A and B are shown apart, each in its own frame.
Chain A
Amino acid sequence: MNEMLASTVTRAEVEDLFYHEADLLDSWRLDEWLTLLTDDASYYVPPNDKPDADARFALFTIADDIVRLRERVIRLKDPNCHAEYPLSRTRRLIGNVRITGVDGDAILASANFIIHRYRHNDLQRVFVGQYRYKLKRQGGRLKIAERRAILDAEELGLLGSVSFIV
């Protein structure tokens, strides 16, 4: 690990970022959420049967570059996004936050998540897994350059669609 880079961030700072992000996502303040990301950020949900795959070679559930991620937010705010209208209620619990290393100028961090999702006319669905982040310091702020939400479920099955931001 690059000790110099790693020493510029504390776990408390990473936790604050993750908890703030969780709150923004759970309250559907998605434009604010986008400001937590770098201008070249990406968002991945790998396939359940190949959780360690690379999106260039494998079919993911979600593999957004920043352009498509901004479009995803536009879609999610639209009442014609039928899979999320009325909006589902989500509550995410984040724990086991760790700084795990560095990659170039990015700090690597991971956390476990449990997301309870409730929807009118629908089952309660529970998404469980691990976040893996690449974080970069920009203008003093810690920003998200990559977020990967790896689901533990062997298949989506009754989780159905991954229509909200995990």
Chain B
Amino acid sequence: MNYQPAGSDFVVENAAQQTFFVNREVFVSEDVFEREKRAIFDRCWVYVGHASEIKNPGDFKTRPVAGRPIIFCRDGEGRVRALINCCRHRGALVCREREGNARQFYCMYHGWTYHPDGRLKSVPGADAYGVAFDKDEMGLVAVPRLEAYRDFYFANFDRDAIALERYLGGAREYIDLVIDQSPSGKMQIISGTQEYDIRANWKLLVENSVDDYHLITTHSTWLNYMRNSGVNVTPPKGELLPTRGFGRDLGNGHLTTDNPNYRGRPVARWISVYGEDAKADIDALRNELVQRLGSARAARVADTNRNLAIFPNLVINDGSSVTVRHFYPIAPDRMHVTAWALGPVEETEAQRARRLHAFLTFYGPGGFATPDDVAALEAAQLGFAAWREVRWSDLSRGMAKARDQQLATDEGHLRVFWRKWNELMEARA
């Protein structure tokens, strides 16, 4: 009778018992939620946006990043900026549009105006200020750190954070695999944003994004759709999934699944859902990959799908299509999700249409799978109302095996996230 832990630690790992438990208090507590903001989101690299979203000087997108209103923009010299969207005078947003191209940001409250690089341009009635007033000092505040890896821009609110490339560690290889789809090494965010709230704790979506244990049950209607379309989705005897894949620890809290593909890939693995007339085109895409990357790397790119979670809150799923999605907690029991599709810049119209069609077979708020994930997460959050009586979430699958032998249907990769989360929360406590 001692399978579950006693006490009230957040994360309890017991190597001898081969168990790993998470205290459900971490999904409901206001105190944990406030501490996470400081210990996690103000110290880790958090996703801001992709260079392709702001192609030209003056292009901008406004969006929240780690709870702050941010202008993600390209200045007059073509440099990418992440400016805090808050007037230095009295604090109003200086840009209230979702996106656009601006020669300047104009605060509608008192008319302070800023250049797209953040410098203060003009102040109505500037002569009313005293001798110390310094326009050069009063530009829009930039995020303390802004760095990019292969066009993915991240901010860090901790000035002393390690460099982004080092932070990403083993995750870089998996970002590279996604980008290798493009002959020029250039991917782009495709127009059209999916933004929705989930009434559940944000950490549940990290787990769910990489948890393959739930696929057969949560997504049985998607599997039916694939089966009805002529895709073989029947797991071999003794397996939980149609193919046997792994969960990987990429260091620094990053993790990924790494699965042999059965569900088709726009680059470059045909399934019947795409239609017979797409076959030749997919073959051509495949040949290009082999020519450019060699057959082994081409197979890695085309014949595996990988759900990559970059700590704390960015997920890049390279599966039925590529989705980039990040999420941020609004409350302990609510998160805001933003998701995009990513594709090679040189795709033809037909290839792009196929990619988008494939995306919607599975992903997104109207897809055949994501709404059921949302339902599962919300059902869990409702259950957590009884966290005092039913305290422990069990993430012990695979604990009996070595860390490099964890299947995607085990929970070894989920534990990677929780260990990092716990380390940062304890360091801060």
Which A residues have a C-beta under 8 Å from some C-beta of B?
A: 45-50, 53, 55-64, 67-68, 71-72, 74-75, 78, 80-84, 121-123, 154-163
Which B residues have a C-beta under 8 Å from some C-beta of A?
A: 98-99, 190-199, 217-218, 220-222, 224-225, 228-229, 336, 340-341, 349, 352-353, 356-357, 359-361, 364-366, 368, 370-372, 374-376, 378-379, 382
A76's nearest neighbour on chain B, judged by CB, is B221
**Known A-B contacts A59-B341, A82-B218, A83-B372; A71 and B192 likewise in contact (beta carbons under 8 Å):** no
In the assembled complex, 16 residue pairs joining A and B whose CB atoms fall closer than 8 Å, in A order, are: A47-B193, A53-B191, A56-B349, A56-B356, A57-B190, A59-B341, A61-B366, A63-B356, A68-B225, A82-B379, A83-B372, A155-B196, A156-B365, A160-B199, A161-B371, A163-B365
Asked if B191 and A57 sit within 8 Å, CB to CB, the answer is yes
* Across-interface contacts of A158 in B (CB, < 8 A): 197
Tell me the bound Cα distance from A121 to B222 in angstroms: 24
Interface centre among B198, B371, B378 (most CB of A within 10 A): B371
| Additional pairs, 14, CB under 8 Å, beyond known A57-B349, A155-B195, A157-B197 | A49-B192, A57-B190, A57-B352, A58-B192, A58-B356, A61-B194, A62-B360, A63-B356, A63-B360, A67-B229, A72-B368, A78-B221, A156-B196, A163-B366
Specify which of A59, A81, A83 is in contact with B356 (CB 8 Å cutoff).
Answer: A59
Asked if A60 and B196 sit within 8 Å, CB to CB, the answer is no
**Known A-B contacts A49-B98, A50-B191, A82-B372; A62 and B366 likewise in contact (beta carbons under 8 Å):** yes
**Known A-B contacts A55-B356, A63-B356; A82 and B375 likewise in contact (beta carbons under 8 Å):** yes
Specify which of A45, A46, A59, A78 is in contact with B224 (CB 8 Å cutoff).
Answer: A78
**Known A-B contacts A58-B356, A59-B190, A82-B372; A71 and B228 likewise in contact (beta carbons under 8 Å):** yes
Specify which of B98, B340, B368, B371 is in contact with A59 (CB 8 Å cutoff).
Answer: B340
Tell me the bound Cα distance from A132 to B232 in angstroms: 37
Q: Nearest 4 CB-CB pairs, A to B?
A: A59-B192, A83-B371, A47-B192, A161-B371
Specify which of A45, A50, A57 is in contact with B366 (CB 8 Å cutoff).
Answer: A45
Asked if A59 and B195 sit within 8 Å, CB to CB, the answer is no
* Across-interface contacts of A159 in B (CB, < 8 A): 196
Asked if B193 and A49 sit within 8 Å, CB to CB, the answer is yes
Tell me the bound Cα distance from A83 to B196 in angstroms: 15
**Known A-B contacts A47-B193, A83-B371, A83-B374; A59 and B359 likewise in contact (beta carbons under 8 Å):** yes
Specify which of A68, A81, A121, A156 is in contact with B194 (CB 8 Å cutoff).
Answer: A156
B225's nearest neighbour on chain A, judged by CB, is A71
* Across-interface contacts of A122 in B (CB, < 8 A): 378
Tell me the bound Cα distance from A90 to B266 in angstroms: 36
Tell me the bound Cα distance from A60 to B358 in angstroms: 12
Interface contact tally, CB-CB below 8 A: 134
Tell me the bound Cα distance from A14 to B109 in angstroms: 48
A154's nearest neighbour on chain B, judged by CB, is B98
**Known A-B contacts A62-B366, A80-B221; A48 and B375 likewise in contact (beta carbons under 8 Å):** no
* Across-interface contacts of B198 in A (CB, < 8 A): 160
A75's nearest neighbour on chain B, judged by CB, is B221
Interface centre among A56, A84, A122 (most CB of B within 10 A): A56
Specify which of A55, A81, A84, A160 is in contact with B196 (CB 8 Å cutoff).
Answer: A160
Specify which of B99, B191, B228, B370 is in contact with A161 (CB 8 Å cutoff).
Answer: B370
Tell me the bound Cα distance from A85 to B359 in angstroms: 24
Tell me the bound Cα distance from A122 to B378 in angstroms: 9
* Across-interface contacts of B197 in A (CB, < 8 A): 156-158, 160
Interface centre among A58, A74, A154 (most CB of B within 10 A): A58
Tell me the bound Cα distance from A162 to B367 in angstroms: 8
Asked if B192 and A157 sit within 8 Å, CB to CB, the answer is no
Asked if B221 and A81 sit within 8 Å, CB to CB, the answer is yes
Report the minimal beta-carbon distance from B128 to chain A, rounded to whole angstroms.
37
Asked if B224 and A61 sit within 8 Å, CB to CB, the answer is no
Asked if B357 and A63 sit within 8 Å, CB to CB, the answer is yes
Interface centre among B193, B352, B364, B365 (most CB of A within 10 A): B365
Report the minimal beta-carbon distance from B200 to chain A, rounded to whole angstroms.
11
* Across-interface contacts of A155 in B (CB, < 8 A): 193, 195-196
Tell me the bound Cα distance from A63 to B356 in angstroms: 9
* Across-interface contacts of A161 in B (CB, < 8 A): 196, 365-366, 370-371, 374-375
Tell me the bound Cα distance from A163 to B221 in angstroms: 13
A163's nearest neighbour on chain B, judged by CB, is B371
* Across-interface contacts of A55 in B (CB, < 8 A): 353, 356
**Known A-B contacts A82-B372, A83-B371, A160-B374; A56 and B352 likewise in contact (beta carbons under 8 Å):** yes
* Across-interface contacts of B353 in A (CB, < 8 A): 55-57
Specify which of B190, B224, B376 is in contact with A82 (CB 8 Å cutoff).
Answer: B376
* Across-interface contacts of B193 in A (CB, < 8 A): 47-50, 59, 155
Tell me the bound Cα distance from A154 to B190 in angstroms: 18
Asked if B352 and A59 sit within 8 Å, CB to CB, the answer is no
* Across-interface contacts of B352 in A (CB, < 8 A): 56-57
* Across-interface contacts of A71 in B (CB, < 8 A): 225, 228-229, 368
Report the minimal beta-carbon distance from A163 to chain B, rounded to whole angstroms.
4
* Across-interface contacts of B191 in A (CB, < 8 A): 47, 50, 53, 57-59
Report the minimal beta-carbon distance from A81 to chain B, rounded to whole angstroms.
5
Tell me the bound Cα distance from A74 to B378 in angstroms: 24
**Known A-B contacts A80-B221, A82-B376; A75 and B368 likewise in contact (beta carbons under 8 Å):** yes
Asked if A75 and B225 sit within 8 Å, CB to CB, the answer is yes
